[in-house]
């Protein structure tokens, strides 16, 4: 089967990219290995203004039910009582939004299925990537069906089969840490405020899903990973201790998921007519909730390729600028997050005093705070 574009993976990135390319009048084929399994995962995403604008352009934003606007964001150092905090308010600058992945995937899926330019085939097992000619690959499934297009976009998430097949490697950064992800219900309202506290053990994010519910991401450096603390039975007590009762009684909702933390950036975002997008190309530390946002920035850059007058659509170099630019941007974003994580984890008392002093200075400076939030809302790009 031949289309203009073949997208492998119907996650948030694959489906958003398909809708965006359809707006450029391209015929798109999406190949997915297991849509039911993929869309049954429910994650909580923080969404930046830049990402919101993309969702608006592909007419998804206004159909989401779960969006919660963050009214305040507080960055804390070591303790909830600490006077040295930085507090961002949405009346100064829009901070961002919290949304549920199940809501986003279900709206995207409906749009994709209704779009005349897009065809989605589920339950496809890729068998091999075949070299059609010197600049083009095509895909063969285990049923021996051949899928080809002017371009193949890999939106396969973390474990890309295509990348393995054509031997593209990742530059991997092992954070030597574990992440614990779960939701909590709180007795007191969170007033739609997000919190990020930097402890010696690692950063903890509190993302307000609703007035009395937070999505939690606890990152713990392995040397501090104590199974007596980070288990479902004891986490409530630990959180009560950290928050100093700020949210009243805390209950853990559902399961506590944990996974090892590592970041990576692909050696190359493009090889011949294959282009890597989203988690297929990169992954960052979860401390700022940027993973999905960086992938959505990739889509914005891919869309821009059509406005460049350098190569014709069909030329294998058409997305070269995307590949070069996003590799740099995502690598810089990863480095920025690593720097923050490393800096805040230092235990030297001089550094601690410096951090405290710096934070109280920033907190008094609305101009600086506005710029920090703007930068986050541009998905950490230094190019804008
Ligand atoms: C617990 C957790 C919490 C997170 N929280 C946040 C957050 O708060 N904010 C944020 O911005 N990011 C967050 N992220 C990161 C975010 O989830 C990812 O960046 C995002 O899901 C990437 O989307 P994607 O479409 O690239 O990949 P995925 O969501 O992984 O989708 C890949 C799709 O491709 C399919 N697929 C894979 N291989 C093949 C194949 N060979 N053939 C056919 N189909 C294939 C899969 O079935 C799936 O449907 C979080 C990640 C985790 C793990």
At 216-240, the pLDDT tens digits run 999 999 999 988 899 999 999 999 9
Q: Which atom of ligand 1 is nearest to the CA of 162?
A: 41
**pLDDT given at position 89:** 80
- The helix/strand/coil state of 217 is strand
Token pair recorded at residue 16: 């958003």
Same domain, 118 and 201: no
CATH number of the domain that 87 lies in? Answer: 3.30.9.10
Distance (Å) from CA 11 to ligand 1 centroid: 6
Which residue did the predictor score with more confidence, 173 or 125?
Answer: 125
Indicate whether 300 pLDDT > 90: yes
Q: Do 84 and 183 fall within a single domain? A: yes
Same domain, 123 and 197: no
Residue range 181-204, pLDDT digits in tens: 999 999 999 999 999 999 989 999
Q: What is the mean pLDDT of residues 5-34?
A: 98
The CB of 31 under 6 Å from ligand 1? The reply is: yes
**Residue with the nearest Cα to atom 45 of ligand 1?**
9
**227 shares its domain with 332:** no
Q: Is residue 210 part of a domain?
A: yes
- How much is the mean pLDDT over the chain? 91
With bands split at pLDDT 50, 70 and 90, how would you rate the model's confidence at 106?
very high
Q: 106 and 218: one domain?
A: no
| Distance of alpha carbon 223 from alpha carbon 262, whole angstroms | 16
Residue 277 domain-assigned (yes or no)? yes
Residues 312 and 296 in one domain: yes
- What total of structural domains would you count in the chain? 2
pLDDT at 66: 87
If you take atom 11 of ligand 1, which residue's CA is the nearest one?
292
C-alpha of residue 259 to centroid of ligand 1, in Å? 14
**DSSP string covering 4-47, please?**
EEEEE--SHHHHHHHHHHHTTT--EEEE-S-HHHHHT---EEEE
One domain for residues 125 and 164: yes
Residues 246 and 325 in one domain: no
How would you label 162-174 residue by residue, b for 16+ Cβ within 10 Å and e otherwise? bbebeebebeebe
Residue 292 lies inside a defined structural domain of this protein: yes
Q: Round to whole Å and give the CA distance between 146 and 126.
A: 10
pLDDT digits (tens, 9 = 90+) for 250-265: 999 999 999 999 999 9
Please give the number of the atom of ligand 1 that sits closest to the Cα of 47: 11
362 confidence band (pLDDT: 50, 70, 90): confident
Are 14 and 162 in contact by the 8 Å Cβ rule? The answer is: no
pTM (two decimals)? 0.93
Look at residue 354 in the predicted model and tell me its pLDDT: 78
CATH number at residue 144: 3.50.50.60
Nearest atom, ligand 1, residue 290 CA: 11
**Residue 263: CB within 6 Å of ligand 1?**
no
384 assigned to some structural domain:
no
Q: Which domain holds residue 61?
A: 2-65+100-172+263-338
Residue 217, C-beta contacts closer than 8 angstroms, at least 6 positions apart: 179, 180, 181, 204, 205, 207, 286, 287, 289
pLDDT at 384: 58
Whether 280 and 330 have beta carbons less than 8 Å apart is answered as no
Residue partners of 28: CB distance under 8 A and separation at least 6? 3, 4, 5, 6, 7, 18, 21, 22, 117, 118, 119
What is the whole-number distance in angstroms between the Cα of residue 368 and the centre of ligand 1? 33
Please indicate, yes or no, whether residues 12 and 54 belong to a single structural domain of this protein.
Answer: yes
Strand bridging mode 202-210 / 72-77: unpaired
Residue nearest to atom 2 of ligand 1 (CA): 43
| 79 assigned to some structural domain | yes
Q: Give 137-160 pLDDT, tens digit per residue.
A: 999 999 999 999 999 999 999 999
Same domain, 161 and 217: no
Q: Which residues contact 88 (CB under 8 A, 6 or more apart)?
A: 72, 73, 74, 75, 95, 369, 372, 373
Task: Let me know if residue 382 belongs to a domain.
Answer: no
Tell me phi and psi for residue 26, to 5 degrees.
-95, 145
Residue 24 sits in the same domain as residue 119: yes
- Per-residue confidence (pLDDT) for residue 184, from 0 to 100: 96
Which residue has a Cα nearest atom 8 of ligand 1?
45
Contact present, 45 and 96 (Cβ < 8 Å)? no
Predicted local distance difference test score (pLDDT) of residue 82? 65
Q: What stretches of 222-319 show up as alpha helix (H) in DSSP? A: 232-243, 291-304
Q: In this structure, are residues 174 and 202 in contact, taking their beta carbons and an 8 Å threshold?
A: no
Query: How many whole angstroms from 323 Cα to the centroid of ligand 1?
Result: 20
Is the pLDDT at 275 greater than 90? The verdict is yes
Percent of all residues in the chain with a pLDDT value above 90, rounded to a whole number: 72
Q: Which of 31, 145, 155, 157 to mutate to test the pocket of ligand 1 (most atoms within 8 A of CB)?
A: 157
The half-sphere exposure of 45 on its side-chain side, counting CA atoms within 13 A, is 25
Identify whether residues 239 and 296 lie together within a single domain.
no
**pLDDT the model gives residue 307:** 93
383: pLDDT confidence band, cut at 50, 70 and 90? low
Residue 383 lies in a domain: no
Q: Is residue 306 part of a domain?
A: yes
Residues 50-78 pLDDT 10s = 999 999 999 999 999 989 999 998 999 88
User: What phi, psi does 166 have (nearest 5°)?
Assistant: -100, 15
């Amino acid at each position: 089967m031949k289309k203009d574009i073949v997208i492998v993976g119907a996650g948030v990135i694959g489906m958003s990219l398909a809708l965006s390319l359809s707006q450029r009048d391209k015929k798109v084929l999406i190949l997915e290995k297991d849509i039911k399994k993929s869309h049954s995962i429910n994650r909580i995403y923080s969404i930046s203004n830049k990402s919101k604008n993309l969702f608006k352009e592909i007419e998804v934003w206004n159909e989401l039910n779960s969006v919660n606007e963050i009214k305040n964001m507080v960055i804390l150092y070591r303790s909830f009582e600490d006077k040295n905090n930085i507090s961002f308010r949405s009346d100064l600058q829009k901070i961002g939004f919290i949304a549920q992945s199940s809501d986003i995937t279900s709206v995207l899926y409906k749009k994709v299925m209704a779009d005349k330019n897009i065809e989605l085939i589920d339950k496809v097992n890729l068998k091999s990537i075949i070299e059609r000619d010197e600049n083009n690959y095509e895909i063969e499934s285990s049923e021996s069906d051949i899928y080809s297009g002017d371009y193949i976009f890999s939106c396969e998430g973390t474990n890309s089969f295509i990348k393995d097949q054509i031997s593209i490697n990742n530059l991997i950064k092992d954070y030597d840490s574990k992440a614990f992800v779960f939701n909590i219900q709180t007795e007191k309202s969170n007033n739609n405020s997000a919190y990020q506290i930097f402890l010696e053990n690692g950063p903890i994010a509190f993302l307000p899903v609703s007035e009395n519910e937070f999505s939690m991401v606890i990152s713990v450096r392995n040397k501090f990973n104590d199974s007596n603390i980070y288990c479902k039975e004891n986490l409530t007590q630990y959180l009560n201790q950290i928050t100093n009762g700020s949210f009243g009684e805390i209950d853990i909702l559902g399961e506590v998921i944990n996974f090892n933390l590592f970041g990576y950036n692909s050696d190359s975002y493009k090889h011949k007519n294959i282009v890597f997008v989203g988690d297929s190309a990169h992954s960052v530390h979860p401390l700022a909730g940027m993973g999905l946002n960086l992938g959505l920035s990739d889509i914005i850059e891919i869309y821009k390729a059509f406005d460049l007058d350098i190569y014709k659509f069909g030329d294998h170099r058409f997305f070269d600028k995307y590949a070069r630019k996003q590799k740099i941007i995502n690598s810089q974003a990863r480095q920025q997050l690593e720097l923050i994580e490393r800096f805040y984890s230092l235990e030297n008392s001089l550094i601690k005093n410096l951090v405290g002093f710096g934070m109280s200075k920033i907190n008094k400076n609305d101009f600086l705070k506005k710029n920090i939030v703007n930068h986050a809302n541009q998905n950490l790009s230094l190019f804008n």
